[in-house]
Structure 1
Amino acid sequence: MLATLFTVLGIGLLLFFHEGGHYLAARAAGVRVDVFSLGFGPRLFGFKKGDTDYRISLIPLGGYVRMAGEENSSSPDGLLGKSVGWRFLIFAGGILANFLIALIIIPILFAVGVPLEAPIAGPIEAGSPAWHAGILEGDRVLSANDETLHAFRHVSAAVALNEAGSPLVFQLQSPDGQSREVHLAPEYDADAGFARVGMGIPERLVFHPTGPAIDAGFEPTDEITKIGDVVVSNRPAVARLLLSQATRLQRTIEITATSQDGISKTLTLSPTAIDFQDAAPLQIGVFALSNQVAENLAPSTMPFQKGDTIHSVNGQALSTIDDLAEALLDSSRPTFVQYGSPVQDFIMPSGYTPENLYAALHLSQAPGLAVSVRPQSAAFEAGIQNGDCILRANDKPIYSLSNLRQAILPLDLGQELPLSLSRGDETIAIVVQPKLATAFHYGVAREVIEETVQANGPLHALTLGLSEASRMGLEVVRTLSRVLGGGIDSSNLGGIMTIGVITHSFAEQGWIPLLFFLCMISIHLGVLNLLPIPGLDGGHLMFLIYELLRGKPVSEQAQGMINLAGFLLVISMVIFVTTLDIQRFFS
């Protein structure tokens, strides 16, 4: 409830400061202000003091200040009766207020300390630019193209906003303090709509406030130190591997955690079914089989070649690279692999670790949707086998799990789904009856790793604040440039609903994250209002610059036509981003 209240107040304050900038500039110029409104459309409530009606209006998509003399210059206290300089200040007042409030607050926040996502590499996607560059989970990104970074969002922005075709240079520091430089070429991700390098945000394992772990005797504030015998802080990828494999295969798992008092305890947890509360989707119980070699960066260590299929590990069919990685953890026996066509045998080198494997081998899905089948699932009961390739569902072609989900989505419990499969050289018709989804967990979740960025003195706070504010402003300009140039898909734009949702999430984190985010939005609004679009502040400033240079204003007819075009453009943009907001909300 408080987060919602702070969200409304925060967005309201942004509008208030912007319109307040126009208002104060107008009063300083001696211009009468008739209306000061937060929102557009019909007046909801407010009060009148002096000449000004202060109001809250129905449509919360901005605000406005209505001044006397906007249509003609005959009024002595009207807008058009003032000099170009005064009018320039009035129209720039809101922009200046946006920048000023951020420039004041951000240094103060850095003096107190701002929690930000650590600029540390999280999970690395196999086959990605980060993987090819040799970036490892836990590496700290010190700078990108010589620009110092102190938050993961700076890393993401540096990647997404990097000029297409230009190299991106990261200065890295490994957990043991060793520094190195890597060169990357970000790749456009059509699903995300922007360039990525395949480096995830840093995360740590934590206990969910409710669930099996808490029921077993852990506290939500306990720090998870081990999964099995694996130290989480030293080997995060392996810890996630053990947890993931245990969940998938429904095994018990041993977890060690340390309380805030320094007391360590180890408990064995059993998987517990997730309660979907009557909202469980239907599924047939398959997942994509990823056993085909896409790349091998260590051919002198492993003989696998591109296109090879890894069939089994220690006699068990391989579903994903995690099966091979888990086998490497057992140092008591050699890891025996069968691969290729014709089938060949290979014993993995002694001492080869899962981390070595993840850094060198990329396994991908075979062409088509080859699947691995969960035990006791609907697919298992229908006779679908590991390695079968799903060709069609309801006589529609299937290329991915997403296609398969879409085929299952319209079905009701008890309805059947006809499938066409390929098994070896055969094509098989099978009918499967999807079941309600079942999933298991241990009450362990992932949490983004944050670090508090705090200045070591007033001057440092000011420097940090100015640097961060200028970075925020430049990011808006570069983002717009990349959107117009096609480097960022316009579907990533958001309107007032998106701003509200994100603001609410920051409000839940505390007042410092909320204020920091609001300052960022304030700068974004300031930059956007500078754009020379008729109807926005920047459009008015453009007309005034023309008037200053030519010695006369743009004709009323021309202004009317240009303003109409600008109005239609702005309304179209509002409708577009609001539509995107609604689509995100319902998806």
Structure 2
Amino acid sequence: MCLSGFAFLILAATGFWGNPSSYWAMFQMVAGLGFVIFVHEMGHFLVAKACGVKCEKFYIGFDFFDIKIGNRVIIPRSLLKYQWGETEYGIGIIPLGGYVKMLGQDDDPRKYEEEMARSRKTDGTETKVVAGTETEKAAHPHHESVTDVDMEPTPLPGDGDESFELDPRSYQAKNVPQRMAIISAGVIMNVIFAVIFATIAYSLGVSHVPTEIGRLAPGGAAYAAGVPVGGRIVQLAKGSSKNEHLRFRHDLSQAVMMAGVKRDLEVLVKTRDGKEEWYAVRPQDTTMETAAGPQKVPTIGVGPADTTEISPVTTLAKQFAAAQVENGFQAGDVVTAVAAPEGEKVVIGDMASGGPYVLDGFLSQHANVPITFTIERTPQTEDGAPVKNAAAQTVTVTVPAQHMQRLGLVMKAGPIESVRRGSTGDKGGLKPGDELLQVDGAPLGDPLTLPDRLQGKYGQPVEVVVQRKDDKGATHEETLQVEVHPPEFINTMWSTGSPFVVQELGVTFPMLREVTAVMPDSPAAVAGLQAGDLVDWVSFKVEGDVDADMKNLIPVDRTIDLTGKAHNWMEVQSWLQFAVPQNKIQLAFSRGKEKQQTVTLKTYPAPEQFNPDRGLHFMTLQEIHKAPLGEAIGFGFRETKENLVRVATFLQRLATGEISPMNLGGPGMIAMAATSEAKQGTANFLLFLTFLSANLAIVNFLPIPVLDGGHMMFLTYEAIFRRPVSEKWFVALSLAGLAFVLSLMLFVVSLDIFRFAQMFS
């Protein structure tokens, strides 16, 4: 009946495809996706049967051809088939959809005439339909009235007779309302089951990452707009319903994608003390590192909240202090208190009391001293599983200060890119375009050490001298008074082209490629770099063996080109923190008219610059949203409605060019996303099926010939003008629609292949 294709989805790749522990999840994926197709085709089948149409085939998957080597069939076109009554039920070898084959109807326009001929009754027992009547016109779209002289019909068996017999069980013999009901039944079934899937999911309890804001990207839209860390987004766009259970990786990320980079996204943020405020944020095109390589996506620059539970990444990142402590952290440890050497101790509470944010603040303000962590540890077996009924243990771990890794280069700071709304810099008069010259009575010097130099001045005003351009382009110096505030969060969010952030002043600026000074006796000084040199590129490669767990935590075969606008020195500086001894770091620089030079460098610990997080990583906050049946039904309708609107909006913006077609996903990406959701639990997988069902409903009802929407378009024409579309137009448009759908499928499958190649290369 239709091409239930898997297109038009924005899906993220997962990192566990092929893992043996995921086999059950992959089985759920196959069963779930097959069921969504089954439901769609069952809708067509049941209504067709109710209207008295003969259904010859009911297939999940397509059985277009056998897979052969020479004349030998290796894989038959049907993996499974069974004849029951007049219908053949089966599973085809091409898992891209499904179809119901009815007498007198075929989605392949090349078989149009054959199906018209098959609609004729041959046993002579049925009522005759007189050629040229309105009934006959509805039954045979190739028969034209005398006014259609420009469309010569192709003669079919029986043409020219005064009358002929029509099989009343053929699809073509049914009136327009009946055929419309048959065509729309698949989409209606998808919508009905979308509600059912979502209702069951919320009854079971949906695990999700809430839209509590734990991090802000330096210079991102949310940072510049003043969106508060620790606040929770409870409404997306004015006029929508308020929702305390919005999901970070579904509701928020898709709302950002739908907004694109040409319009503001309005978000209502509820702070931890219960206050609510609207913020207008304009998404920015950001180059993100993904498993498939660098990709541009619209973002507003927010990250989810963390808990105080230690993540396994902490123990794997051997280059950081947190992983080097003897008898140190274990995955699953929960931080309950922290203390500095001078005796200052802070109790870290739960999420309700803002525990993670208290911990962040303490680490930021004591970056240059050892910190003793009090942790609650659940005893574990050798394979990492918790020991049943074992009492939690209290353990202390002391982690030394973590020096930042440098090459010995002091790079030039660019003009201020953004000033955080409501920050002390904003209140003190700092503006985008200002160039920092002096801070607290001293030259700017090394910009990267500015946060460390301001650490002891929290709550105090400092003098800031900037160079500023007036309206006519003339430059002049201005002196401002700016109060220093402690950082709101530890900056762990960065991407290609990210600027440097000085949270103490509420400003960001890029780090340019011009060297302003070289630290004495540093690797850069030994290699011969000088002030005034321009760094062209920096390359990270790996020499020697690296532990498999470390490969995702170190820079591997990466070259950062600084000659364009896409990158700046902060990207190099960020990757330097992850470098290990096996990393070979090459740097190319230009000096005046001299030939470009390339040197090999090693990192060294900067004596007066510190990494506040010391390599600590925490588990992301997750919540479970469970509702009683009555509420779950309401959530089911809401979820389905939101998904339908979301898909329709995506398609509209795809058509207008606001969203790149490179964001489409094919069958492979859908399968990976489905497996990922199944891995999270049955409820999450059911919500994914809700989204997929809504997706198929919208896509299949697009007015494209060979899709359900195309058939409905032809039937609407027939209902209005009381005659079907001429045969030539029907065949031509159907062939064009088929070509478009096949081309689209080829395109998204090619995207999948490219992404897989990137992921596994």
Tell me the TM-score range normalised by the shorter chain: 0.7 to 0.9
Q: Pick from 146, 150, 160: which aligns with 2:239?
A: 146
| Partner residue, 2:257 | 160
Q: Does 1:222 align with 2:333?
A: yes
Indicate conservation of the 8 Å contact 1:141/1:172, yes or no: yes
Indicate conservation of the 8 Å contact 1:290/1:364, yes or no: no
Q: Which amino acid aligns with 2:507?
A: H
Q: Which amino acid aligns with 1:500?
A: A
Q: How does 1:420-459 map to 2 (within 5 A)?
A: 420-422=589-591, 429-433=596-600, 444-455=616-627, 457-459=628-630
Q: How does 1:21-170 map to 2 (within 5 A)?
A: 21-40=43-62, 41-42=64-65, 43-50=77-84, 51-70=86-105, 71-72=115-116, 73-74=119-120, 75-143=167-235, 144-147=237-240, 148-149=242-243, 150-151=245-246, 152=248, 153-162=250-259, 167-170=264-267
Q: Which has the higher helix share?
A: 1
Indicate conservation of the 8 Å contact 2:706/2:737, yes or no: yes
State the identity %.
Answer: 27
Shift of residue 227, structure 1, vs aligned partner: 6.4
Structure 1: how far apart are the matches of 2:516 and 2:750? 36
| Partner residue, 1:275 | none
Q: Does 1:200 align with 2:309?
A: no
Q: RCO higher in 1 or 2 (8 Å CA, sep ≥ 6)?
A: 2
Structure 2: how far apart are the matches of 1:419 and 1:218? 39
What are structure 1's unaligned runs of at least 5 residues?
A: 273-283, 407-412
| Partner residue, 1:571 | 742
My pick for the range that moved more, 116-125 or 500-509, is 116-125
Q: How does 1:242-321 map to 2 (within 5 A)?
A: 254-259=372-377, 263-269=393-399, 291-292=413-414, 293-296=416-419, 298-299=424-425, 306-309=433-436, 318=446, 320=448
Q: Pick from 280, 284, 287: which aligns with 1:183?
A: 280
Structure 2: how far apart are the matches of 1:383 and 1:104? 69
Indicate conservation of the 8 Å contact 1:334/1:347, yes or no: no
Q: Which string of whole-angstrom CA distances, capped at 9 and with x for unpartnered residues, describes residues 453-497 of structure 1?
A: 233x43322222111110100001111111112222221111111
Q: Which string of whole-angstrom CA distances, capped at 9 and with x for unpartnered residues, describes residues 188-219 of structure 1?
A: 55876564333333344643347367983545
How has the CA–CA distance of structure 1 residues 61 and 216 changed in structure 2, closer, same or farther, with 3 Å as cutoff? farther
Q: Which string of whole-angstrom CA distances, capped at 9 and with x for unpartnered residues, describes residues 34-63 of structure 1?
A: 222222233242122223222222221112
Shift of residue 509, structure 1, vs aligned partner: 0.8
Shift of residue 84, structure 1, vs aligned partner: 1.9
Q: Which amino acid aligns with 1:86?
A: Q
Indicate conservation of the 8 Å contact 1:420/1:427, yes or no: no
| Partner residue, 1:361 | 506
How has the CA–CA distance of structure 1 residues 312 and 332 changed in structure 2, closer, same or farther, with 3 Å as cutoff? closer
Indicate conservation of the 8 Å contact 2:195/2:639, yes or no: no
Q: Pick from 36, 46, 50: which aligns with 1:14?
A: 36
Q: Does 1:2 align with 2:99?
A: no
Indicate conservation of the 8 Å contact 2:463/2:480, yes or no: yes
My pick for the range that moved more, 445-454 or 136-145, is 445-454
Matched position secondary structure for 1:46: strand
Q: CA RMSD in A?
A: 4.6
Q: Which string of whole-angstrom CA distances, capped at 9 and with x for unpartnered residues, describes residues 3-58 of structure 1?
A: 22222222222222222222222222222222222222332421222232222222
Matched position secondary structure for 1:216: coil
Matched position secondary structure for 2:226: coil
Q: Pick from 699, 702, 719: which aligns with 1:531?
A: 702
Structure 1: how far apart are the matches of 2:205 and 2:698? 26
How many positions carry a matched residue from both structures?
562
Q: Which structure's CA Rg is the greater one?
A: 2
Shift of residue 241, structure 1, vs aligned partner: 8.6
Q: Which amino acid aligns with 2:590?
A: L
What are structure 2's unaligned runs of at least 5 residues?
A: 1-22, 66-76, 106-114, 121-166, 289-294, 317-321, 340-344, 379-390, 468-475, 490-501, 540-560, 573-581, 606-610
| Partner residue, 2:126 | none
Indicate conservation of the 8 Å contact 2:201/2:687, yes or no: yes
Structure 1: how far apart are the matches of 2:173 and 2:29? 39
Structure 2: how far apart are the matches of 1:385 and 1:224? 45
Q: Which string of whole-angstrom CA distances, capped at 9 and with x for unpartnered residues, describes residues 396-443 of structure 1?
A: 98336869999xxxxxx9999672335xx796843224789x9x9978
Structure 2: how far apart are the matches of 1:253 and 1:374? 28
How has the CA–CA distance of structure 1 residues 329 and 164 changed in structure 2, closer, same or farther, with 3 Å as cutoff? closer
Matched position secondary structure for 2:488: helix
Indicate conservation of the 8 Å contact 1:378/1:432, yes or no: no
Structure 2: how far apart are the matches of 1:5 and 1:368? 51
